[in-house]
Amino acid sequence: MVMSGTYTDKERQEIIEAAAEYDRRIDDELHARETKPADPTNELYRAFEAETLEALQFYTKDVGLLLAIREQFKDRYEIREMVRHLVNLEKHEIETLKMDVENERETAAELKRIQRS
């Protein structure tokens, strides 16, 4: 790891040593609790999944808002068409995100299977 910036060599060394000591303490605590350390790869895929599910909620709510706007402007063709276009774009994004969630879950499961063997 290369560190640069306004730290002196001594400060950089102290930071590296403190980080290593922190890692050792965490490992000792996990060992004392007989807990396995988190699998960073699996955690990464879980984070991707959570972020994707959050995006799905956003787009779903946004489609509802757009449909409400369309209802308010029933007599304005250009607004209805713009809303229709935006809803179609967001529906496409929702379908893409759903596939992403499936892929992330499958990848996480496959990684678990690989790690067990």
State the Cα–Cα distance between residues 5 and 57, nearest whole angstrom.
40
Specify whether the backbone of 5 is left (phi greater than 0), alpha (psi in -120 to 50) or beta: left
Contact, 84 vs 70, CB < 8 A?
yes
- Quick one: tokens of 111? 């990684």
Residue 83: which residues within 8 A CB-CB, separation 6 or more? Answer: 66, 67, 69, 70, 73
User: In the chain, where are the structural domains located?
Assistant: 1-37, 38-116
Contact, 6 vs 76, CB < 8 A?
no
Q: What is the mean pLDDT of residues 89-100?
A: 94
Strand spans (E) along 19-84: none
Query: What's the pLDDT score for residue 38?
Result: 67
Query: What's the pLDDT score for residue 3?
Result: 47
Residue 71: which residues within 8 A CB-CB, separation 6 or more? Answer: none
Query: What's the pLDDT score for residue 46?
Result: 81
Q: Whole-structure pTM over 0.85, yes or no?
A: no
Torsion of CA 80, 81, 84, 90, to 10 degrees: -120
Q: What is the pLDDT of residues 2-38, one digit of tens each?
A: 545 577 888 888 888 888 888 888 888 877 777 666 6
Q: What is the pLDDT of residues 40-87, one digit of tens each?
A: 777 788 888 889 999 999 999 999 999 999 999 999 999 999 999 999
